[in-house]
A and B are shown apart, each in its own frame.
Chain A
Amino acid sequence: MIGHNIDAARERLKASRSAARKNSAGGAQPSAKKRRRRALAILLPVLGGAAMLGLWAGYREINLAMLRNDELARNILFRLRLPRVVMAGIIGATLALVGAALQAMFRNPLSDPFTLGVSGGGAFGASVAIALGWGARVSGMPLVFLAAFAGAAGSVVIVYRIARTGLVVLPGALLLSGVVLNLIASAGVLTVQYMTDPTRSLQILRWLMGGLDAIGFGVIWRMLAFLIPGWFGLLALSRDLQLLAVDQETAASLGVNVQRCERLIYAVSSLLVAVTVSVGGAIGFVGLIVPHMVRLLFGQDLRIVLPCSLVLGAVFLILADAVARTVLGQAELPVGAVTGILGGPFFLWLLRREQQYSA
Chain B
Amino acid sequence: MSGDALVEARGLRFSYAAGRPVICGASLALRAGAMGALIGPNGCGKSTLIRLLARLLTPSLGDIQFGGMPLSSINQRVLAKQIGYVPQTTSRTFPFTALEVVLTGRSPHISRFQFESNRDVEKARAALETVGISHLAQRPVTELSGGEGQLVSVARALAQEPICLLLDEPSASLDLKHRAGLIRTLFELRSRTGLTVLMVTHDLSLLDPGFDIVFALNRGTVATRGLPSEVLCDSVLRDLYSDRHIRTRRVEGRTFVWSEV
Q: What is the 8 Å Cβ interface bit string for chain A, positions 77-92, against chain B (1 contact, 0 not)?
A: 0000000000000000
Q: Give the residue of B16, B104, B118, B191 whose beta carbon is less than 8 angstroms from that of A254.
A: B104
- Is there an interface contact between A6 and B130, defined as CB atoms closer than 8 Å? yes
Among A28, A243, A249: residue with most chain B CB under 10 A:
A249
Residues of A within 8 A of B118 (CB): 31
Q: Mark A108-136, 1 if CB is under 8 A from B, else 0.
A: 11000000000000000000000000000
B229 CB within 8 Å of chain A: no
B85 touches A250 (CB 8 A): yes
- Residues on B with beta carbons closer than 8 Å to the beta carbon of A70: none
B192 close to A3 (CB less than 8 A): yes
A242 contact set on B, CB distance < 8 A: 104, 107
Residue of A nearest to B112 (CB): A239
Judge if B121 is at the interface, Cβ distance under 8 Å.
yes
Q: CA A302 – CA B94 in complex, angstroms?
A: 11
Interface residue tally on A, bucketed by range:
35 or more
Q: Is the CB of A29 within 8 A of B138?
A: yes
Given known contacts A9-B130, A31-B116, A257 and B192 CB-to-CB distance under 8 angstroms? no
A107 within 8 A of B: yes
**Is B243 part of the contact surface with A, judged by Cβ < 8 Å?**
no
Report the bound CA distance from A253 to B104 in whole Å.
Answer: 11
Q: Which residues of A contact B84 (CB under 8 A)?
A: 253
**Interface residues on chain B, size class:** 35 or more
B210 contacts partner chain A, Cβ-Cβ < 8 Å: no
Q: Give the CA-CA distance A255 to B77 in the complex, in Å.
A: 5
Q: Which residue of A lies closest to B17 (CB)?
A: A166
Per-residue contact bits, chain B 78-115, to A (CB 8 Å; 1 contact, 0 not): 01110111010011111111011100110110001101
Min CB distance B136 to A, Å, is: 13
| A300 close to B (CB within 8 Å) | yes
Is B134 in contact with chain A by the CB < 8 A criterion?
A: yes
Q: Are A13 and B126 in contact (CB under 8 A)?
A: yes
- Which residues of chain A are within 8 angstroms of B153 by Cβ–Cβ distance? 250
**Contact code string B172-195 (vs A, CB < 8 Å = 1, else 0):** 000000000000000110011000
Q: Which residues of B contact A253 (CB under 8 A)?
A: 54, 56, 80, 83-85
Q: 1/0 per position for A160-186, CB-CB distance to B under 8 A?
A: 000000110000000000000000000
Establish whether residues A249 and B56, one from each chain, have CB atoms under 8 Å apart when the complex forms: yes
Most chain B CB neighbours (cut-off 10 Å) among A236, A239, A243, A245? A239
> Known contacts being A6-B130, A108-B93, A247-B91, is A254 close to B80, with CB within 8 Å?
yes
Take A31-B116, A255-B77, A255-B108 as given contacts and tell me if A245 and B94 are in contact as well, using a CB distance cutoff of 8 Å.
yes
What 1/0 flags go to B209-253 for Cβ under 8 Å of A? 000000000000000000000000000000000000000000000
Q: Are B90 and A250 in contact (CB under 8 A)?
A: yes
B94 touches A32 (CB 8 A): no
A312 to B202, CA, bound (A): 49
Within 8 A of B (CB), among A265-290: none
Q: With an 8 A cutoff between CB atoms, is B156 at the interface?
A: yes
* B125 close to chain A: CB less than 8 A: yes
Tell me whether A250 and B156 are in contact in the complex, defined as CB-CB below 8 angstroms, given that A2-B187, A33-B115, A245-B93 are known contacts.
yes
CA distance A301 to B99 in the complex (A): 11
Q: B4 at interface (Cβ–Cβ under 8 A)?
A: no
Is B142 an interface position by the 8 A CB rule? Answer: yes
Any B CB within 8 A of the CB of A221:
no
Chain B residues within 8 Å of A357, by CB: 142
- Judge whether A42 is part of the interface by a CB distance below 8 angstroms: no
Residues of B close to A29: CB separation below 8 A: 97, 99, 138
A300-335, CB under 8 A of B: which get 1 and which 0? 110100000000000000000000000000000000
- A13-B125, A253-B83 known; A31 vs B105 contact (CB < 8 Å): no
Assembly CA distance A257 to B100 (angstroms): 21
Note all chain B residues with C-beta closer than 8 A to A166. Answer: 16
* A33–B100 CA distance with the chains assembled, in angstroms: 13
| Chain B residues closer than 8 Å to A46, beta-carbon distance | none
16 A–B contacts, CB within 8 A, in A order: A3-B188, A3-B191, A5-B188, A9-B126, A9-B129, A16-B134, A29-B99, A31-B115, A31-B118, A32-B116, A247-B91, A249-B90, A253-B54, A253-B80, A300-B95, A300-B96
Known: A9-B129, A17-B122. 5 other contacts (CB 8 A): A2-B192, A107-B94, A239-B107, A253-B80, A300-B97
Binding site for A on B (CB under 8 A): 16, 54, 56, 76-77, 79-81, 83-85, 87, 90-97, 99-101, 104-105, 107-108, 112-113, 115-116, 118, 121-122, 125-126, 129-130, 134, 137-138, 142, 153, 156, 160, 187-188, 191-192
